[in-house]
Amino acid sequence: MHPIERKIVSAVVTAALEAGYTVSVEDDETGYFVRRSADHAAIVGELGHMDEDVIRIHDETTGSKGFFHFVYGNEPHYVIADYADRPACSAIMAKVQPIIDAHEDVETWCAEKIIQERFGK
């Protein structure tokens, strides 16, 4: 997993845990790698070993609050490929979006600088 992807994925997990939710890491073949955990290290440790991951966010009273779908290997700031259009996930995205925006701005700046240096534009 790219370091920027790791930072963004970790921020999603942190925001979910800080909001009082637990997190499950899905495994298409066996169900879950991690089920309803509040252990940040255990959750993040199971992410990024494949091309994509899905995490589910839960609370203890109403159950599922939504999901986040991560796809690795593209532009790192686009690691969040999809998420549930639910209040809990939107609140988590609101906390994570500034991190994504900062990395997107840096990558754009770097690309523009390289083009300018190489082609004088």
CA 57 to chain centre: 12
Q: Residue 64 is which amino acid?
A: S
Residue 25 pLDDT level (bands cut at 50, 70, 90): very high
Q: Residue 79 is which amino acid?
A: V
Per the structure, how many domains does the chain have?
A: 1
Please name the residues in contact with 23: beta carbons below 8 A apart, sequence gap of 6 or more.
13, 16, 17, 34, 36, 37, 38, 43, 55, 56, 57, 58
Cβ(72)–Cβ(5) below 8 Å: yes
Structure confidence at residue 60 (pLDDT): 87
SS3 assignment, position 81: strand
Average pLDDT, the chain: 88
Structure confidence at residue 45 (pLDDT): 95
Structure confidence at residue 63 (pLDDT): 85
**Does the pLDDT value for residue 111 go beyond 60?**
no
Domain that holds residue 88: 3-119
54-96 per-position pLDDT tens digit: 999 999 888 899 999 999 988 888 899 999 999 999 999 999 9
**pTM, two decimal places:** 0.85
Structure confidence at residue 86 (pLDDT): 95
**Does the pLDDT value for residue 17 go beyond 70?**
yes
Q: Is 17 left (phi over 0), alpha (psi -120 to 50) or beta?
A: alpha
What are the φ and ψ backbone dihedral angles of 105, each rounded to 5 degrees?
-65, -40
**Does the pLDDT value for residue 1 go beyond 60?**
yes
Query: How confident is the model over 10-18, as a mean pLDDT?
Result: 98
Cα–Cα distance, 41 to 50 (Å, whole number): 18
Residue 53 pLDDT level (bands cut at 50, 70, 90): very high
Cβ(73)–Cβ(51) below 8 Å: yes
